[in-house]
Amino acid sequence: MTDPWVWFITGASRGMGTQFAHAALAVGHSVVATGRDPERVRAAVGDHERLLALALDITDGEDSAHAVEAAVEKFGRIDVLVNNAGNFQAGFFEEITSDQFRAQMETNFFGSLNVTRAVLPVMRAQSSGHVVTITSLAGITGGAFGGAYAASKFALEGWMEALHGEVEPFGIRTTIVEPGFFRTELLVEGDSTLWAELSIDDYAARTREIIPMWQGMNGSQSGDPAKLARALLKVVALPDPPERWVAGADAVDGVIQKGRLLIQQAEAHRDLSTGLDHDHD
C-alpha cells in the first residue's frame, strides 16, 4: 500500500509500542498512540502533527470504544490495529492468587478483545484493515514460573487464529506476532512485571533462584525493538501478509523446537490414538 495509513497502537508509552509509533510516523503514516497516561505517551513518542495521543484503559470496553471514536473523528479511518499493551505476572501457579491470574487475563487477553471489538466495525465499514496482535514465544511454549503469562498469550493465539477466518471475507487481515526476548521495559518490576503474592515453602528455593535470573535479564535481552518495529512495517505492507510472524532468532528456534515436539507427541502412541473410532457394525 502506497498511501499513508492510520495506525492505532496500544501500550505506546514504552517499549515496543513506542517503537511501533516511531517507525510508522517515520515513513509518513498517522498514529493513534494510546496508554493509560497520554502525557507519558506524548513524552515517549514525541510531538508530531500526525500523532494523536489518547488515554486508554484496555480493560474497559467503554474506554476502548471512546478511544476508537476519537481516532476516527481525528483521522477518518483506522487501517492497522496493533494490540501491544500487556504485562507479565510471574510466579509458580500455586503462588499466584486467583485475582492475580484473572488480572493477567484481563490485561493481556480481554484487553486486546476489547480494543479489537471496538475497531472491527470501523474496518468492516471500510472493507479493509489489518489486526496485528503481539503475543509471545510464551504463546507457543509455556515454561515454569510463567503460567499466567503463557495462558494469556496462548489464549490470544487461539482467538486470533479463529478471528482470521471470520474477518477475512470483509477484506480484513490478521497477523499474530510472536517475539522472543527484546530489550523493552516488560521486565521492569512493579510496572510491567509483577511477582506472585503468595509464598509456599515447597517453592521457596526455586523462587530464590528464578527471580534474580529474571531481574538479571532486564536490559540485556538480545532483541532490538526498533528493528522489530521497522520489520513489522514491512510485514504489514506485504501483498499477502502472514497470519503468523515469528520475531527474533530465539523465537524462530523456539517455535521450530515446539513444532517438532508436537509431532513427536502426536506420533508417540499412534496405536492408542488412532484406534478410538466406533467399531463397524
CATH number of the domain bearing residue 135: 3.40.50.720
Least confident of 66-75, 132-141, 212-221, 234-243: 212-221
Cα-Cα-Cα-Cα dihedral sign, residues 30, 43, 109, 138: positive
**Residue 149 annotated among the catalytic residues of the structure:** yes
* H or E element, residue 8: strand 6-9
At 165-201, the pLDDT tens digits run 999 999 999 999 999 876 555 444 445 678 888 889 9
Domain annotation covers residue 205 = no
Domain annotation covers residue 214 = no
Domain that holds residue 52: 6-87+102-187+223-268
Write down the catalytic residue from 149, 182, 203, 245: 149
Residues 6+ apart with CB under 8 A from 131: 81, 83, 116, 119, 120, 123, 160, 163, 167, 172, 173, 174, 175
Query: Could you tell me the three cell numbers for 154?
Result: 496462548
Domain annotation covers residue 46 = yes
Strands (E), 110-171: 129-134
Residue 119 CB coordination number (10 Å): 24
Domain annotation covers residue 92 = no
Domain annotation covers residue 234 = yes
Q: Report yes or no: 51 and 31 within 8 Å, Cβ to Cβ.
A: yes
Q: How many domains does the chain have?
A: 1
Query: Could you tell me the three cell numbers for 134?
Result: 503481539
At 8-43, the pLDDT tens digits run 999 999 888 999 999 999 999 999 999 999 999 999
Domain annotation covers residue 201 = no
d(CA 217, CA 244): 26
At 230-245, the pLDDT tens digits run 999 999 999 999 999 9
